[in-house]
Structures are given as structure tokens and as C-alpha cells.
Amino acid sequence: MNRDAQLRTYEKIEEKIRELPWYVAEFIQKKMRTMSPATLLNYCHDYLIFFDWLVAEGFWTGHRRDVPLDTLEKLTVPQIEDFLSYLQFRLDNTPLTVNRKISALKSLFHYLQNIAETDDLEPYLTRNVMAKIELNAVKEDQETIAQKMAGKILWHEEYEQFRRFVAHDYGVLVQDNKKLFNFYQRNRERDTAIISLILGSGLRLSEVVGLDIDDLDLKKFSARVIRKGNKEQYVFFSEQALLDLKEYLAVRKQKYQLDDKTRALFVSSPMGPKGASRRMTPRAVEKMVEKYAKAFGKPALSVHKLRHSFATRYHAENNDVPKLRRQLGHASIQTTMIYTHLTNDELKKAVDKMDQNKAL
């Protein structure tokens, strides 16, 4: 996430914590040094839902920001279970989403009980109900998740087919629709560069939209990104991604009417009364990928599935999990191990081929 995007996120966080109790605001501000702004903003959303529920259920009469600490201290396990049922059945949250909210609350309650102190050196909370709450058991193992993912990513020749579709074939498909064709022609190089970069590096959506011109090192085939946890890292990309980036950079300034002050790498077409271009938003990139994926015949393909596609191809060709983990920016190697399950079919084919050669 670039500095401008970080500042905008911090502004949103400040706006949210004004609607939350003072002790929640204190917790968020303490965490700003160690947690990413995107994670903290998600925490704020989760806390707003929780405190709104407390008010709606009558645990406190008044505004959510005035909920006192003793209200939290008196909460029981059955009451928290009611909240989790509310998340699952009323808000239609998945077990993984509920787990994220449980984790957010556990972090807050842990801070209030074990870290924060009054002037008398007493903890804010002496009783922590969230310590008694277990995370949902997510029953799917990595192999099951991998098999579900397998039909939604690109395989083998599909990598280049999809890249070429964005770079050329989509234009042939919509050439009779003047509006669609003109929009495609205006953004063809940009869209191709984005698709090619993700397929050639495995960057996350936030990392792609956060790139500035100065983050690219075209001689070293690398890009400087800020990963989760605000960690800076240089990530390599493929030779094809380099070629597509160069083609986009050659037309970027003229096509998008940019001055030298605009450092964002991927920008939108000029819009509005002032006709100004601006950094592409994550949603704009998602919609762009969705458009091409649907036309290509793989509507389930998304930005994250392109990242999975890169990782699956990398593992199949290199079989080096530690290097893949670094390339993807995974905190845990267990997360990276899912791609070993995705390539099980490739291993089976290799074994089958050995048997066939032996028979010959």
C-alpha cells in the first residue's frame, strides 16, 4: 500500500474510532505501530458491529461509543454465543468470517485485561469472556480447498491464452460494439500489463494498485511492494510481464493525460468535470478482471485466482516451497503448502508416464 493510500486508510480509521468507546480507540491507536492499516480498518468494522449488537440487545442504553467497560466484564459465554449466531444466521457470515471477528474481539479483550492499566495500575478488565470462546472449526483440509480451487484457476496453455485474450482477442470479440471497443482500445495496454504482472509475479490486489512508477526496477525484473504487516519487499516478475509493462509505460502518460507529478503506476481513464486521471481502485481492477474472465469463458476467475494460478504454475515448474512462500509474501509456510496439493495431478501424470516408458 503506497503512502497516499495508507493516509486515506488512516483517515477512515480515525473516522471510525470516533464512533467507538474510548478504550477501543486507545487499543487501535496502540496497534497502529505494529499492524497494517487495512487490518485495523477491518477491526474497526468488526467492533462497530459488536457494539451495535450490544446496544440493540439492551446490554447498554445509549450510544455505542458510551458503552462502559463493566458492560464487557459482565458478558457471559452464552451471550457471546448469541452474538456469534447473529453473525452467522442474521448477517450470513461464513465460519471463516466469524473467526475473523472472534479474533478481533479476542485481541481487544486481551489488551483490556493484560496490557492496559489504570492510573492505579489495575487492568481495565479483570474478567475476559473472550478467553473462553473457541474459534469455529473449519473442517476443510488443504487438499479439499485445493481441489475446489482447481477448476477456478488457469492451467497450462490457459496462462498465455488468457493474456493474449486481454491483449488482442477481446477486441476482436467486441469490435462490432463501438462503445465497448473504444473503451477496450483506450485501456488495452494497461489491462494487459495488470493481468500479465499478476500472472507473472503472484502479487496481491492491494500490492498491484499500490504500485508507483518508482517502485519498478525494469532492469532487475522486480517491483517494490509493501506486504501485509507493512513489510517492504522486492518481488520479481516474469519477462512477459516486463514486455507488457514496457508497452503500457510507453503510452501511459499520453493516453491518460498525466503530468510528471502522477506517480501511480496504474491509473483510470480521465473522468468527471475536471477530466482528471487517478490511481485505479481495487474494485476497478476487480471489475476489469471479471469482465475479461466472463468473456473468456471462466467467470470464476478473479484477481486472487490469478495469484493462485501463478503460484500453482511456479510450484509445478520449480518445486521450491520456501522460495514460493517468499514470492507470495506468506507469513506461514502452511499457507503456501496448498499449492503442493494443487499439483498432485501433475505428479500422478509423471508417475504414469514412468510406467508407460517402462512398458516400452
Where do the domains of the chain lie, and which CATH numbers do they carry? Answer: 3-139 (no CATH), 144-354 (1.10.443.10)
Least confident of 4-13, 141-150, 298-307, 329-338: 141-150
Please check whether residue 84 is in contact with residue 102, taking contact to mean a CB–CB distance below 8 angstroms: yes
Active-site option among 64, 305, 325, 330: 330
Active-site option among 65, 228, 253, 278: 228
Q: Each residue of 250-278: pLDDT tens digit?
A: 999 999 988 888 899 999 887 666 667 88
pLDDT tier at 307, thresholds 50, 70, 90: confident
Instruction: Reply yes or no on whether 339 is catalytic.
Output: yes
**Is the CA virtual torsion 36, 41, 46, 51 positive or negative?**
positive
Active-site option among 204, 255, 308, 315: 204
Active-site option among 188, 252, 307, 308: 307
Closest of 14, 17, 6 to residue 230, by C-alpha: 6
Output the pLDDT for position 45. Answer: 94
- Classify residue 212 as left (phi > 0), alpha (psi -120 to 50) or beta: beta
Bigger pLDDT: 110 vs 329: 110
Per-residue pLDDT for 2 more than 80?
Answer: no
Output the pLDDT for position 38. Answer: 83
Q: How many CA atoms lie within 13 A of 94 on its CB side?
A: 4
Closest of 63, 77, 74 to residue 18, by C-alpha: 63
Bigger pLDDT: 37 vs 215: 215
Instruction: Reply yes or no on whether 228 is catalytic.
Output: yes
Instruction: Reply yes or no on whether 159 is catalytic.
Output: no
pLDDT tier at 338, thresholds 50, 70, 90: low
Print burial letters for 302-328: b (CB count within 10 Å at least 16), e (below 16).
bbbbbbbbbbbbbbbeeeebeebbebb
Least confident of 60-64, 132-136, 145-149, 176-180: 145-149
Print burial letters for 237-264: b (CB count within 10 Å at least 16), e (below 16).
bbeebbebbebbbeebeebbebeeebeb
Per-residue pLDDT for 10 more than 80?
Answer: yes
Output the pLDDT for position 3. Answer: 65
Q: Whole-model pTM above 0.85?
A: no
Output the pLDDT for position 128. Answer: 94
Kindly state the average pLDDT of the residues 182-188. Answer: 94
Instruction: Reply yes or no on whether 330 is catalytic.
Output: yes
Active-site option among 256, 315, 339, 341: 339
pLDDT tier at 228, thresholds 50, 70, 90: confident
| Three-state secondary structure call for residue 169 | helix
Average pLDDT over the chain, rounded to an integer? 85
Bigger pLDDT: 36 vs 110: 110
Least confident of 111-115, 194-198, 223-227, 310-314: 310-314
Closest of 181, 194, 136, 156 to residue 312, by C-alpha: 156
Bigger pLDDT: 338 vs 235: 235
Per-residue pLDDT for 91 more than 60?
Answer: yes
Instruction: Reply yes or no on whether 127 is catalytic.
Output: no
Instruction: Reply yes or no on whether 204 is catalytic.
Output: yes
* Sequence-ordered list of residues with C-beta below 8 angstroms from that of 14, at least 6 positions apart, any chain: none
Least confident of 128-132, 272-276, 344-348: 344-348
Active-site option among 106, 253, 304, 326: 304
% of residues, the chain, pLDDT over 70: 86
Output the pLDDT for position 156. Answer: 78
Output the pLDDT for position 83. Answer: 94
Output the pLDDT for position 298. Answer: 87
